[in-house]
A = this chain, B = another copy of it.
Amino acid sequence: MRQSQLFTKTRKEVPADEAAKNAQLLIRAGYVHKVMAGVYAYTPLGLRVLEKIKQIVREEMNAVGGQELIMTSLQPKEVWEGTGRWSEETVDVWFKTKLQDDTELGLAWSHEEAIVSMMAQYVNSYKDLPISVYQFQTKLRNELRAKSGIMRGREFVMKDMYSLHATKEDMDQYYDTVIEAYKRIYERLGIGMDTFVTFASGGAFTKFSHEFQTLCDAGEDILYISDDKTVAVNEEVLDDATKEIGVSKEALSPTKTAEVGNIFKFGTEKGEQMNVTFKDADGEEKPIYLASYGVGITRVMGVLAEKFGDEKGLVWPEAVAPYKIHLVGLNLEDTEVKDWAEGVYSSLKDAGIEVLFDDRVEARAGEKFGDSDLLGLPYRVVVSKKGKENGQFEVVTRATGEVRQLSEEELFADFTN
């Protein structure tokens, strides 16, 4: 992509009401556009990051047998009344609306009831189970406050998976499989070492749910972690969880974290409330077992921006960066330098490398470097008149600041491996 063609531009200022670092950096760099508090559009650079996160999550969900589908935002009242979750006293984040004949509708903030209601027509026998389905869905949540940028939005993208089982054992086993899949996701996203499977508050069926929490100063949670990092407990269940697992509270140290995933066993609760059953091997009708597994896709993007961003701008892990290389052309008013830069741009693209080419002729070097730091692509490759004379490129690794001078041959050897 040519930067001269990109309609977004970097900015010095951010909306006055924007307090969160993630949104400030993302707005200044042109990854997101703020529509209102908690509601952000994703411009081409931002959408590329989202799609890369989604693809990693998709591959791991497919690997554990998840089937991708897409449910609806509009929700009929009846489906949620059966479980008591239509009431705004129980669920305080509903956006609701009405058909022209005044029929009340909800806008989905989650999809357990929608999935279970749909599955009623596909599940008859234990032979139809297990089933695991997932979606990438835009969720709407009527949050009272929305001050954490894209980490807690009123409109956001979530991967939610739901698994249905005939027995508790089968659910438990699959749940553990998904925990491993989640670990691979965070590993691939570049936050594996800093992400903890955490005891968190449960529900009617289980005492605890599990959150995946990532070390992050801007996080909204306090995690208690053991020195050897094998035990992590959310503050909200500290007393209960330490008692349950037989660990002393004093052995755990508090640290700020951001939730990047949450998984939950509903057990037979929804099946019973909604009367969704199957015939077991003995012909007996039994309620299905349900577990659900969420990853906030936009939230993860926000956490990555918060966690890795520095005073100069964003710093993307390679797996989610919108482009791998930022090819920064200097002295492009010189035809020979320009031709060389264009040639390198073509060759990198031909080699299958994702490149953003700062081909702007009028912008000064300082402005280009500032923009490059702000945009945060993993590698900056500088093409300049001086470099041309030496037959070299300056290559800067954004995350470490490491500077190398590479020949064209070395450059291609480095980036095509």
Residues in chain A within 8 A of chain B (CB atoms): 5-9, 11, 33, 35-36, 39-44, 46-47, 50, 65, 67-76, 95-100, 105, 107, 114, 118-119, 121-122, 128, 131, 133, 138, 140, 142, 144, 154-155
> Is the Cβ of A47 less than 8 Å from the Cβ of B76?
no
> Is the Cβ of B35 less than 8 Å from the Cβ of A76?
yes
Smallest distance from the beta carbon of A72 to chain B beta carbons, Å? 5
**Which of B72, B144, B154 is in CB contact (< 8 Å) with A155?**
B72
Which chain B positions have C-beta within 8 A of A46?
69
**Which of B39, B67, B119 is in CB contact (< 8 Å) with A44?**
B67
Closest B residue by C-beta to A118: B33
15 further A-B contacts with Cβ under 8 Å, apart from A7-B128, A39-B74, A96-B97, are A5-B67, A6-B67, A7-B119, A7-B122, A33-B118, A41-B69, A41-B71, A42-B70, A44-B68, A44-B69, A47-B68, A47-B70, A73-B73, A73-B138, A74-B155
Which chain B positions have C-beta within 8 A of A35?
71-72, 74-76, 114, 118
Smallest distance from the beta carbon of A106 to chain B beta carbons, Å? 10
Closest B residue by C-beta to A88: B100
Complexed CA–CA distance, A382 and B42 (Å): 46
**Which of B41, B97, B138, B154 is in CB contact (< 8 Å) with A138?**
B138
Complexed CA–CA distance, A140 and B155 (Å): 14
> Is the Cβ of A74 less than 8 Å from the Cβ of B41?
no
Smallest distance from the beta carbon of A1 to chain B beta carbons, Å? 9
Interface centre among A76, A99, A142 (most CB of B within 10 A): A99
* 9 closest cross-chain pairs (CB), A and B: A7-B131, A95-B97, A44-B67, A41-B71, A97-B97, A42-B70, A39-B74, A35-B72, A33-B118
Interface centre among A9, A35, A119 (most CB of B within 10 A): A35
Which chain B positions have C-beta within 8 A of A142?
97, 99-100
Complexed CA–CA distance, A375 and B97 (Å): 36
Complexed CA–CA distance, A397 and B140 (Å): 44
**Which of B7, B44, B99, B155 is in CB contact (< 8 Å) with A73?**
B155
Complexed CA–CA distance, A67 and B356 (Å): 14
Which chain B positions have C-beta within 8 A of A98?
95
> Is the Cβ of B73 less than 8 Å from the Cβ of A47?
no
Closest B residue by C-beta to A50: B70
> Is the Cβ of A118 less than 8 Å from the Cβ of B68?
no
Closest B residue by C-beta to A131: B7
**Which of B7, B70, B140 is in CB contact (< 8 Å) with A41?**
B70
Smallest distance from the beta carbon of A132 to chain B beta carbons, Å? 9
> Is the Cβ of B41 less than 8 Å from the Cβ of A8?
no
**Which of B67, B95, B96, B144 is in CB contact (< 8 Å) with A7?**
B67
Which chain B positions have C-beta within 8 A of A99?
142, 154
Closest B residue by C-beta to A33: B118
Complexed CA–CA distance, A284 and B197 (Å): 59
Which chain B positions have C-beta within 8 A of A100?
142, 144
Complexed CA–CA distance, A198 and B160 (Å): 42
Closest B residue by C-beta to A6: B67
Which chain B positions have C-beta within 8 A of A8?
122
Smallest distance from the beta carbon of A158 to chain B beta carbons, Å? 14
Q: Taking A69-B47, A70-B41, A107-B107 as contacts, is the C-beta distance between A36 and B76 under 8 angstroms?
A: yes
Complexed CA–CA distance, A6 and B68 (Å): 11
**Which of B43, B70, B105 is in CB contact (< 8 Å) with A69?**
B43
> Is the Cβ of A69 less than 8 Å from the Cβ of B97?
no
Smallest distance from the beta carbon of A7 to chain B beta carbons, Å? 4
Smallest distance from the beta carbon of A335 to chain B beta carbons, Å? 21
